Every structure is written in C-alpha cells, then in structure tokens.
C-alpha cells in the first residue's frame, strides 16, 4: 500500500476460504502452513517490496490489461503485447509448471535500486486463474522494435548507431554488476543469460537488458550468492569457456560477472557485423554459426571454444574504421580465455563513452 507516498509492506492476507492451497505466511497468525501457494503476493514474505509498485497495485494493473497479440515465444512461455490504460505493455506468460522461473524473475526485477534506463522496466507480476489452469504474468515495458536479435536481422546499423547500441548494453550491464552500498543501495547482480535475444531495442535505438530469470545476487556482507548454483544454466552458445569446461569457481561472485563479459563480447560481434561502412556489411549471424550446429550441445561448444580455442572472426575491413577497430579490440578483451583477463563492464562503458563522444564530434 502507498501511505504518504511511501510504501508499506502489505500485511493482510486473503482469507482462508479464498485460499484453496497451502500458504507460506508470516504476516497472519492463523495461517501456519509452510509451503508457498504463490496465489497471492501478500502471503509471500520474499516478495515484500521496499520499492516499486505496491503489490495490490501490481495486481490491479495486471487485471486491467487487455492482451492484443503474441509477439514472441521463449523457453518459458509466450510474450504478448497488451494494452493498459491506452499504453502498450509486454506480458510474459509462464505456465504454472514454470512458476519457479516466474517467481525468480519477478523477485530479481524487484531488487531495490535496480531501475535503470538500460534495464527492462518492470511493471507488475500477477497470477490469473482462468478456471482450468493458472497463468503467471510478468508485466514490463513494451519495446516495439523487439529484441536486438530481431533488430539486427531486420537491418543494418550506422557507425554511430552501433556505438550507441553497444554503449547502452554496457551501461545496463555495469549497473547490474555494480554493488551500491547503503540503505538505498543495490546488490551486485550477474545476468547469466546475456545474448542478443535477451536484449530489447528501445524507440531511441538504445538497449534494455531483459530476462533476469537466471540472475544471481551477491550479498557482500556475508559473501554469499543468493541461490544454489547450477553453473550450466544459460544459453550454451554464449557460455564462457570456464562454464563449458566446468572449472568456474562458483564461490567467487566475480566469476559470474566475468562469464557475462564473455557473452557481451559475442553480442558486440553480432552488432559490429551489421555496421555499414562504405556500404559494406555482413549478413546477420549468431556467434559460432560456422563451427557448431544450430542447437549446439555443451560438448559441441566445449570442443570449439575450449579445445580449439576458436572465437568469432574479426574481419580485416574493421581495421579501416576507428569505431569498429575499438569495438573489435573490446570484444577480444571480453572473450579472453581467462576470466580474470577480461574487461569489466564499467571499463567497457568508459571506453565506449569516449568513442561515442568522438563519433558525436564527427557528426
Ligand atoms: N518487453 C518486450 N517488448 C517487446 N518485445 C518483447 C519483450 N520481451 C520479449 N519480447 C519479444 O518476445 C520474444 C520472446 O521472449 P522470451 O524472453 O520469452 O524468449 P527468448 O529470449 O526469445 O528466448 P529464451 O527463452 O532463450 O530467453 C523476444 O525474442 C522478443 O522478440
Ligand atoms: Mg529471453
């Protein structure tokens, strides 16, 4: 609830007759079962939100959205364009089978101080029972240009456009990775599934990082990571060599950030190929398109990335353009075989900010 503009934890629970499942609840004395029913957020202590929209407001929003059309399908259900108060919103619908993914993604998006112009803006999470099954909704800002993957497939980019896209992804990732200390702070977060399909392109041709369902948070006081670790969770094609080889040190949070930087290098390569200089560009391709099959196994990837130590090809003609030369160097330093030798997101952000200023100067 909002009280004097500040949020209070919603303590009321739905009544027992309304609940026909078990509930995990600390805010009501007469409900003592210890399984979460996920049927009402106010019953869930881990979703008590210090910021963002109050839970009841989230629910009200979700219940007044009218779904318009399906815009995509992923591992965890469908993404729809919906209308809410005349505005487009994106609705990701999970089946109740995938409730853990839905819950986790909603939880991460509601991390204190996560909001940033280059991270997908979360609006609400809710569940809907249509009488036969329960749909789990995640409502976010809608970006009509779709994912960076869609965008690069559709057309080419200018040099300035390429630098803006690359800088915006680095800015979003630097924010995600950064710990902000203090009461109004945020924990460091690693994404773990960074790829062009999980980055959206906004109207102003900058990016927003999406799909935080696999992310992990670092508690720097206790030096712990907030969920049990399964290293091989992301998309195989974008997995860092240490993950493919199963030698990543998962007790060090830094390792997760370094693995994200490897994936970022591959995304930069996808962008740079589509950059048009003197009318020359390359067709869109996924990283390692020429050396692994379309749905590569871990073993396929390991052979190429770890054993043969192959990386995407950096064409000679990139040397003739300053921005492509810089971005080529950055990607190489991101996909280094040793995690410790990779650039940090903040470093990439700084390098690309300079490049962006230079390019603006030229224009
Ligand atoms: N907020 C959004 N605004 C506009 N389009 C979106 C939004 N979120 C997702 N999409 C579209 O829906 C598609 C499906 O998204 P989803 O995250 O479910 O799957 P994916 O990223 O393609 O694959 P994966 O399951 O491996 O993550 C995206 O590729 C994108 O085109
Ligand atoms: Mg996705």
Kindly tell me if the per-residue pLDDT of 361 is higher than 50: yes
Mean pLDDT over 315-319 rounds to 94
Residue 268, sorted as left (phi over 0), alpha (psi -120 to 50) or beta, turns out to be alpha
Fold agreement (62-141, 148-362): no
Asked if 193 is an active-site residue, the reply is yes
**Per residue in 240-282, pLDDT tens?**
999 999 999 999 999 999 999 999 999 999 999 999 988 889 9
Instruction: Say whether domain 62-141 belongs to CATH 3.30.70.890.
Output: no
Mean pLDDT over 59-75 rounds to 87
Q: How many residues does the chain have?
A: 363
Contact 44, 21 (CB under 8 A): no
Encoded tokens for 111:
């991390």
Q: Is 195 annotated as a binding residue?
A: no
Q: Best of 65, 75, 79, 234 to mutate for ligand 1, by most ligand atoms within 8 A of CB?
A: 79
Encoded tokens for 124:
């609400």
Contact 254, 213 (CB under 8 A): no
**Per residue in 24-44, pLDDT tens?**
333 333 333 333 344 443 333
Measured distance CA(122)–CA(138) in Å, rounded: 8
- State the ligand closest to the CA atom of 71: 1
Does the pTM exceed 0.95? no
**Per residue in 76-85, pLDDT tens?**
889 999 998 8
148-362 sits in which CATH class? mainly alpha
The per-residue pLDDT for 232 is 66
- Catalytic option among 193, 211, 245, 360: 193
> For the chain, which residues make up each domain, given as ranges?
62-141, 148-362
Q: What is the DSSP letter of 336?
A: -
Rg of the Cα trace of the chain?
A: 22
Q: From the CB of 72, is ligand 1 less than 6 Å away?
A: yes
User: Whose alpha carbon is nearest atom 11 of ligand 1?
Assistant: 72
Mean pLDDT of the chain: 84
Kindly tell me if the per-residue pLDDT of 306 is higher than 60: yes
Measured distance CA(153)–CA(283) in Å, rounded: 8
């Amino acid at each position: 609830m909002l009280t004097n503009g500040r949020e209070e934890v919603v303590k009321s629970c739905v009544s027992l007759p309304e609940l026909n499942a078990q509930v995990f609840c600390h805010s009501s004395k007469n409900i003592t079962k210890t399984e979460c029913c996920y049927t009402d957020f106010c019953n869930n202590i881990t979703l008590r939100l210090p910021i963002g929209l109050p839970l009841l407001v989230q629910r009200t929003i979700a219940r007044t959205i009218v779904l318009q059309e399906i815009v995509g399908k992923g591992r965890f259900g469908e993404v729809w364009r919906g209308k809410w108060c005349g505005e487009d919103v994106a609705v990701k619908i999970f089946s109740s089978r995938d409730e853990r993914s839905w819950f986790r993604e909603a939880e991460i998006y509601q991390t204190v101080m996560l909001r940033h112009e280059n991270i997908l803006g979360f609006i609400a999470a809710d569940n809907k029972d249509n009488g036969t099954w329960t749909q789990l909704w995640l409502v976010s800002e809608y970006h009509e240009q779709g994912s960076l993957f869609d965008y690069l497939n559709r057309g080419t980019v200018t040099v300035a456009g390429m630098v803006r896209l690359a800088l915006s992804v680095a800015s979003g990732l630097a924010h995600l990775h950064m710990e902000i200390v203090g009461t109004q702070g945020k924990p460091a977060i690693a994404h773990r599934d960074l790829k062009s399909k999980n980055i959206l392109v906004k109207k102003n041709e900058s990016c927003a990082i999406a799909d935080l369902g696999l992310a992990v948070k670092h508690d720097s006081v206790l030096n712990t990571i907030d969920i049990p670790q399964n290293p091989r969770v992301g998309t195989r094609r974008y997995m860092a060599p240490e993950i493919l080889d199963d030698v990543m040190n998962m007790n060090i949070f830094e390792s997760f950030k370094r693995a994200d930087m490897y994936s970022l290098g591959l995304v930069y390569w996808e962008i740079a190929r589509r950059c048009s200089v003197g009318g020359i560009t390359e067709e869109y391709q996924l990283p390692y398109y020429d050396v692994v099959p379309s749905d590569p196994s871990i073993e396929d990837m390991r052979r190429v990335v770890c054993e043969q130590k192959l990386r995407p090809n950096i064409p000679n003609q990139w040397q003739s353009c300053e921005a492509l030369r810089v971005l080529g160097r950055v990607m190489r330093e991101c996909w280094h075989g040793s995690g410790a030798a990779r650039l940090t997101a903040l470093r990439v952000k700084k390098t690309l900010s300079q490049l962006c200023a230079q390019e603006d100067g030229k224009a």
